[in-house]
Amino acid sequence: MKNLNFKIGVRYVFGALLVLGGAACTDLEPTFDDSVPAEDSSGAFAGIDAGNFLESAYNDIEGMGDQANTYALLEVSSDELAVVTRGADWGDNGIWRTMHQHAWTPTHAHILTAWNNRNAAVFRCNQIIAPESNATPAQLAQAKTLRALNMFYVMDFFGQVPFRGVNEGVDVNPMVMSRAEAFDFIVQDLTEALPDLEDADLTDIYTVNKAFANFLLAKVYLNKAVYTGSADAADYTKVVEFCDAVTAQGYTLDADYFGIFLPGHANQEIVLALDTGTGNRVWNILHPFQGGWNGFVTLGEVYDSFDSADIRLGDPGTAGVGTGMLIGQQFAPDGTALNDRGGNPLVFTKDFPTGISGNNERTGVRPMKYTNKNADGNPDPQNGSVLARYADVVLMKAEAIMRGGTSAETAESIIDGLRTLRGVTAAGSYTMDELLLERRRELWIEGWRRNDQIRFGTFNTTWDMKTNTEDFRNLFPIPAAAVATNPNLDQNPGY
């Protein structure tokens, strides 16, 4: 497994696209320096060490383990997560509130940093893929897959994808792909990469392989109507085929739901994880007396959507931090009932009487998915953050069938199988709304909720602490500084 915790060296830093901007105090930004030259004496690109830069390309996606930036756009903008203000805590000049309430502007710091980080990651992959770098076929395949992943996020978030060639200096304005052009580019990258990617090794969850390339192809084609304006039964049949290709690599559903997210658990489901600790999925939800920062919460309507028998709901427990949706009285590892800093019983509640601001220390259900503990019974978030999982593959296949794709299986049998494994009664038939709920119950905080809501048409509805229903919010704005420095970019409508 990879250990990628080292300083990144890169000569080009995306020129005019990489612009400085404010960021929350919790941002974990990559560091760039000039330790690896990329030009010859004529100023032309001379190639780089493909192996070292490939490690850096993995480091780039590892940064998505942070709670801010890319992850904030994926989850805090959705009906799954909110970051509520408690007195002065988590105020941060409104950066978290505006993300959840769909009130962001082109100067929002998380949007700017996500734009910079993902575009810089694409450019690093461009350097590996350039002929001058003499990458091996296996290195090229991984670099193309990682480029496709980073470009996927830019396409999904912004609808426009800037692209700079390795021999284009900072005086050249990067060309800009439309969403449909980016869709084709991503599909081509993944298709070309597949033959030279390794088959899945389920003990290595940190390296892209054939299974992940097929996972991402399924994800891209499932959202084709969003990205290109249309999709037909043949496209959804492709989704089924890509999902089947992941299955053929040996993945299966794991009956031990929370075990999936524990270090050392025999892997059956994780297709790709970020090689970084999961502290930002643990400490940001817990109270200070549990070792946390007391910011992120899930909504009451998320908690209420679970059947009481659903093992994915978890168990809040009576000793230490529990699993799943933490609600009610919280306890120390020795079973002592905890109080908050004001002496009130530390009882997590699902309602927000004052809205997103003015909360006490106890409001909000806490979504605890990474439940590893040390010998003292306290949280010990060491396992990698899951990015792609086989349960998502199963649900994507079911959805593709419901949207017209051809398969020997039925969507109902697929969903029933998953629900039965999770302790829930099989319903036998499902509407699209019910499938969307099932995806949230299975994949909460794994980074796919905004993408799902846009595809299902619910991103611009109302939910707890969010009333804005503007359709143009399906796209984030191009950061103002990027528009100002690249005339090939057009600001997205509404901003």
Residue 79 DSSP SS3: coil
Q: What angle do CA 181, 29, 43 make, to 5 degrees?
A: 65
Computed over every residue of the chain, the mean pLDDT equals: 92
- The residue whose two tokens read 């700079």 is 164
Under 8 Å between Cβ of 108 and 84: no
DSSP state of 363: B
Residue 216 has pLDDT above 50, yes or no: yes
258 backbone dihedrals φ, ψ, rounded to 5°: -80, -20
245 backbone dihedrals φ, ψ, rounded to 5°: -65, -35
Under 8 Å between Cβ of 46 and 36: no
Structure tokens at 290: 């549990």
DSSP string, 459-479: TTS-BTTB----GGGGSPPPP
Of residues 241, 228, 222, the one with CA closest to residue 400: 222
The confidence band for 171, taking pLDDT boundaries of 50, 70 and 90, is confident
> How many other C-beta atoms can be found within 10 angstroms of the C-beta atom of residue 308?
7
CATH code assigned at 492: 1.25.40.390
* Residue 4 confidence (pLDDT): 31
Structure tokens at 148: 């496709």
Crossing angle for the helix pair 432-443 and 411-421, to the nearest 10 degrees: 30
With pLDDT > 70 as the criterion, what percentage of the chain qualifies?
91
Cα-to-chain-centroid distance, residue 215: 14
Helix (H) or strand (E) segment spanning residue 10 = none
| SS3 per-residue string spanning 59-75 | HHHHHHHCCCCHHHHHH
Is residue 406, in this structure, part of any structural domain at all?
no
- The residue whose two tokens read 């461009």 is 126
d(CA 335, CA 348) in angstroms, rounded, equals: 16
d(CA 212, CA 215) in angstroms, rounded, equals: 5
Q: Where are the alpha helices (DSSP H) in 422-466?
A: 432-443, 449-456
Q: Tell me the sheet residues that pair with 329.
A: 347
Buried residues in 426-441 as b, exposed as e (16+ CB within 10 A): eeeebeeeebbbbbbb
Residue 36 has pLDDT above 60, yes or no: no
Distances (CA, A) of 174 to 33, 167, 234, 418: 22, 11, 34, 45
Is residue 424, in this structure, part of any structural domain at all?
no
Is residue 390, in this structure, part of any structural domain at all?
no
d(CA 414, CA 267) in angstroms, rounded, equals: 21
What count of Cα atoms within 13 Å lies in the side-chain half-sphere of residue 111? 25
* Residue 258 confidence (pLDDT): 98
Is residue 28, in this structure, part of any structural domain at all?
yes
Helix (H) or strand (E) segment spanning residue 238 = helix 233-247
Helix (H) or strand (E) segment spanning residue 193 = helix 179-193
d(CA 142, CA 111) in angstroms, rounded, equals: 27
pLDDT in tens, 220-277: 999 999 999 999 999 999 999 999 999 999 999 999 999 999 999 999 999 999 999 9
Radius of gyration of the chain (CA): 22
Is residue 140, in this structure, part of any structural domain at all?
yes
Structure tokens at 138: 């296996």
Distances (CA, A) of 432 to 7, 300, 452: 45, 22, 11
Rounded to the nearest 10 degrees, how much is the dihedral formed by the CA atoms of 428, 434, 435, 441?
-110
* Residue 120 confidence (pLDDT): 97
Is residue 170, in this structure, part of any structural domain at all?
yes
Under 8 Å between Cβ of 217 and 189: no
* Residue 170 confidence (pLDDT): 82
* Residue 40 confidence (pLDDT): 59
* Residue 383 confidence (pLDDT): 86
Is residue 272, in this structure, part of any structural domain at all?
no
> How many other C-beta atoms can be found within 10 angstroms of the C-beta atom of residue 69?
26
Q: What is the number of structural domains in the chain?
A: 1
Structure tokens at 213: 């390339």
pLDDT in tens, 133-143: 999 999 999 99
Q: What is the mean pLDDT of residues 362-368?
A: 98
Question: Which residue type is seen at 74?
Answer: L
pLDDT in tens, 83-127: 999 999 999 999 999 999 999 999 999 999 999 999 999 999 999
d(CA 456, CA 489) in angstroms, rounded, equals: 28
Q: Say if residue 257 is exposed, middle or buried (CB neighbours under 10 Å; 0-12, 13-18, 19+).
A: buried
Is residue 108, in this structure, part of any structural domain at all?
yes
Domain of 165 in residue numbering reads as: 1-197+469-495
* Residue 3 confidence (pLDDT): 34
Q: What is the pTM of this model?
A: 0.93
- The residue whose two tokens read 């030009």 is 39
